[in-house]
Amino acid sequence: MGIKMKKIKILTITLVIAVITMIAFFGVYTKVQNRMENQVKDYLYGMDLKGARSIRFVVNNEKTTTIKDAEGKVVEDSESLTDEQIAEKGYVKEETPNNSEEVKTLDNYKTSKEIIEKRLEKSGVQNYIIKLDEQTGTIAIELTENENTDRVISDLSSTGKFEIIDSETKEVLMDNNDIKRARVMYGSDSSGTTAGTTVYLDIEFNKDGSKKLEEISEKYVKSEETPKDETQATDNTTNETNNNEETTAENTTNNETTDNAENNEEANTTNEKKIIMQIDDNEIMTTSFESPIKTGKLQLSMGASTTDQKSLQNSIEQASNIANVLDTGKMPIKYSLEENQYILSEITDEEISIGIYVALATIVIGLIILIIKNKAQGVIRSNFIHWIYSYT
């Protein structure tokens, strides 16, 4: 019984030494107010191994220019119009600040910082420092550098304004206030020759949003085309061929046929109402609905069904980016990325190697001392030596 207790004691002390060594090397991080802080500051090596990314967001002070017609509607594709052309057509140029003075408040600055923190957490970022300048609204962030850093930054810079609008009138039908949550889903598709996976962006709406979605999907529904009876074109052609002059008959036939074809085409063209879904004024899709949606959910496929891992990963990242932005809400302030700088790690490869050897040496020395002190059996020594060889 005594020998067994000694073995347990040796194992426990060994694990404690290993844990202490790892803590000394990598640090222990906990969330303190607005930052992730290492509680073992004298050994701040872990966060600096791959360097860090320093970014700074400033409040956008630019203005957006819009051209409107006499009825007050926004003129599409007006970027190429000169001032003279705008005046000739009776258009009006309006400049609107991206952030009015009314929204530049401390509460909105704090809300924006909280939303950025949520996006960092949803993106899987663990080690970061975020600071807010309460006077200017500037948000400074420092986070560990890795292969996902650029994607994370693109999420942070998005305002996250979600809108579903009428494609013709540009009336806003739904916005961020109607969203309950957004997430990424997967589905298998075996309709083709080979089974594949489809990635979906699943947007779930709240009670009011679900009601709006049902009403919109009933109004903006796809309509079936019902072509007119084509016998009129045949009859007209037959009647005209009875004329005495062959050339006249042929010309008349062609004209009548063309006119009726145009009429049929016009009859087949329906005024199908469509909606535009957009984020930060960037169009995501334009569509109408197959049938009314009563589930309160929109499932949008992100790319085609595929078995290619690279394509699948791209679709997942695209859907995740949008889901993270929608799920964390719209920032009340529009920010601009002013600084995006990589901070080179001060730790060299040689220092990393030294640190690893020091950690291993500490564990080895501790084990040797324990074995000698407790006069462990030969079996333990043999296992220890085997363990040493396997890791050196």
Average of per-residue pLDDT across 95-118: 95
Spatial separation of the C-alpha atoms in residues 282 and 209, rounded to whole Å: 21
Spatial separation of the C-alpha atoms in residues 239 and 252, rounded to whole Å: 10
pTM of the model: 0.64
* Residue count of the chain: 392
Residue 189, SS3? strand
Most confident of 122-131, 186-195, 203-212: 203-212
Spatial separation of the C-alpha atoms in residues 102 and 96, rounded to whole Å: 13
Q: What pLDDT, on a 0 to 100 scale, did the predictor assign at position 251?
A: 46
Q: Are strands 139-144 and 196-205 parallel, antiparallel or unpaired?
A: unpaired
Locate tokens 């923190």: which residue? 117
Q: What pLDDT, on a 0 to 100 scale, did the predictor assign at position 40?
A: 47
Spatial separation of the C-alpha atoms in residues 260 and 127, rounded to whole Å: 70
Q: Say whether pLDDT at 137 is over 90.
A: yes
pLDDT tens-digit profile of 14-47? 565 565 555 555 555 555 555 555 454 433 444 4
> 59: which strand partners?
335
Reported confidence tier of residue 168, pLDDT bands at 50, 70, 90:
confident
Q: What pLDDT, on a 0 to 100 scale, did the predictor assign at position 114?
A: 96
Q: What pLDDT, on a 0 to 100 scale, did the predictor assign at position 345?
A: 57
Q: What pLDDT, on a 0 to 100 scale, did the predictor assign at position 65?
A: 86
Q: What pLDDT, on a 0 to 100 scale, did the predictor assign at position 31?
A: 54
Q: What pLDDT, on a 0 to 100 scale, did the predictor assign at position 162?
A: 95
Comparing 210 with 85, the larger pLDDT belongs to 210
Spatial separation of the C-alpha atoms in residues 259 and 255, rounded to whole Å: 6
Q: What is the mean pLDDT of the chain?
A: 75
- Which candidate, 192, 201, 195, 186, places its Cα nearest to that of 312? 186
Share of the chain above pLDDT 90, in %: 32
User: Residue 266's Cα: distance from chain center in Å?
Assistant: 41
